[in-house]
């Protein structure tokens, strides 16, 4: 059924990724409500996106959040750290009975959301989809699509390669705020990552090739653990971008195109093993922040127009047809195992 309400609240609209989300909504014909904590930054954003309403709101002011979400069909939260913003914005979304999605990479934030709202979101009749972004949602969708007819897997390894990482101010703020121990799925449950973190060699598809990687689990570990039966799930990243991230002198992303994208390129490579068989799923693209916009807007659109009837706190792979979803993202080059039973 076509969506009748094309208004979407974007909290944190003036942030680096928030601007990509607003632009993607406009490109698809949706009407964003520009919201966030800083009224001056909202006013500046309104000059870039004229004609859209701005509504200042703060996470410690529930009434302002209610006003920000009034009349929207969904809210997309782009304002990190999500350890601080997710729960207050979700509370407002549930009061308004509208869908909630965010860009969270923090594992603990996803755990907090599931613990607090697994039942209340169902009772409100809405979907709460945390981590619907490059970190979290993309790997979840790739792994779910590759599983196909497998009811479970013996192990899932996720490897991410970036040619560089120029972190946004929000990324740096989140890193400073997130002091929780990283988790992996080991022996069938969420367990703390070993210290020091495991390292290994990983052979990525071109142009990256063989690279040393280190275990760096993010929100995809938690989202996958909620709907995929697998006793071992690890995430890794190549070393070069981590050097960029840890260097305080590394500048923020620099746009090289009219749409604001940087020159950064990435690959996500996933290996699933079951009973001696291995399946691989890969995705290539440019700019980890920019690619999060079509991911989260596509998800929002499918919830609002009824192509997904998921309710409660749900992961990307559980909420959507993973293969169909990935095929709808033209900026992402995806390679999946041939679907079982597909015609030659």
Distance CA 197, CA 164 (A): 21
In this prediction, residue 4 carries a pLDDT of 81
Q: Tokens at residue 76, please?
A: 């997309």
Distance CA 28, CA 8 (A): 12
The topology (CATH level 3) of 7-133+292-321 is Rossmann fold (3.40.50)
Q: What is the largest CA-CA distance in the chain?
A: 58
pLDDT in tens, the chain (344 residues): 456 889 999 999 999 999 999 999 999 999 999 999 999 999 999 999 999 999 999 999 999 999 999 999 999 999 999 999 999 999 999 999 999 999 999 999 999 999 999 999 999 999 999 999 999 999 999 999 999 999 999 999 999 999 999 999 999 999 999 999 999 999 999 999 999 999 999 999 999 999 999 999 999 999 999 999 999 999 999 999 999 999 999 999 999 999 999 999 999 999 999 999 999 999 999 999 999 999 999 999 999 999 999 999 999 999 999 999 999 999 999 999 987 665 43
Cα 83 to the center of its chain, rounded Å: 14
Distance CA 67, CA 341 (A): 50
Distance CA 32, CA 10 (A): 6
Pick the CATH number of 134-291+325-335 from 3.30.70.3450, 3.30.360.10, 2.30.110.10, 3.20.20.70: 3.30.360.10
Distance CA 123, CA 36 (A): 27
Distance CA 191, CA 199 (A): 17
In this prediction, residue 343 carries a pLDDT of 41
In angstroms, what CA-CA distances link 36 with 1, 19, 118? 31, 12, 26
In angstroms, what CA-CA distances link 54 with 6, 44, 215? 16, 10, 41
pTM across the whole model: 0.97
In this prediction, residue 3 carries a pLDDT of 63
3-state DSSP of 262-310: CCCEEEEEEEEEECCEEEEEEEEEECHHHHHHHHHHHHHHHHHCCCCCC
Break the chain into its structural domains and give their ranges. Answer: 7-133+292-321, 134-291+325-335
Cα 255 to the center of its chain, rounded Å: 21
Per the omega criterion (within 30 degrees of 0), is the bond before 196 cis?
yes
């Amino acid at each position: 059924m076509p969506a009748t309400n094309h208004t979407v609240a974007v909290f944190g609209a003036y942030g680096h990724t928030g601007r990509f989300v607003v632009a993607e909504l406009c490109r698809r014909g949706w009407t964003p409500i520009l919201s966030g904590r800083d009224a001056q930054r909202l006013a500046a954003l309104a000059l870039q996106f004229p004609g859209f309403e701005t509504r200042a709101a703060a996470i410690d002011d529930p009434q302002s959040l209610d006003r920000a979400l009034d009349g929207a069909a969904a809210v997309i939260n782009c304002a990190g750290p999500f350890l601080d913003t997710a729960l207050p914005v979700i509370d407002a979304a549930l009061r308004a009975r509208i869908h909630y999605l965010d860009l969270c990479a923090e594992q603990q934030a996803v755990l907090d959301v599931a613990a607090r709202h697994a039942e209340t979101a169902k009772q409100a009749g809405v979907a709460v989809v945390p981590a619907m972004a490059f970190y979290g949602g993309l790997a979840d969708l790739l792994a779910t699509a590759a599983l196909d007819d497998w009811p479970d897997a013996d192990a899932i390894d996720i490897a991410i390669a970036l040619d560089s990482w120029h972190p946004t101010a929000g990324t740096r703020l989140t890193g400073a705020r997130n002091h929780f121990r990283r988790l992996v799925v080991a022996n069938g449950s969420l367990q703390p990552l070993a210290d020091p973190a495991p390292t290994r060699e990983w052979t990525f598809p071109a142009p990256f090739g063989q690279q040393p990687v280190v275990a760096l689990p993010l929100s995809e570990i938690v989202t996958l653990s909620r709907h995929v039966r697998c006793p071992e799930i690890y995430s890794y990243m190549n070393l070069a971008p981590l050097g960029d991230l840890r260097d305080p002198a590394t500048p923020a992303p620099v746009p090289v195109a009219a749409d604001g994208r940087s020159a950064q390129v990435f690959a996500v490579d996933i290996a699933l093993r079951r009973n001696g068989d291995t399946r691989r799923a890969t995705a290539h693209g440019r700019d980890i922040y920019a690619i999060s916009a079509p991911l989260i807007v596509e998800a929002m659109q499918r919830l609002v127009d009824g192509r997904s009837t998921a309710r409660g706190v749900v992961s990307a792979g559980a909420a959507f047809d993973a293969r169909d979803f990935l095929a709808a993202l033209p900026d992402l080059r995806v390679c999946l195992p041939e679907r079982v039973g597909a015609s030659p």
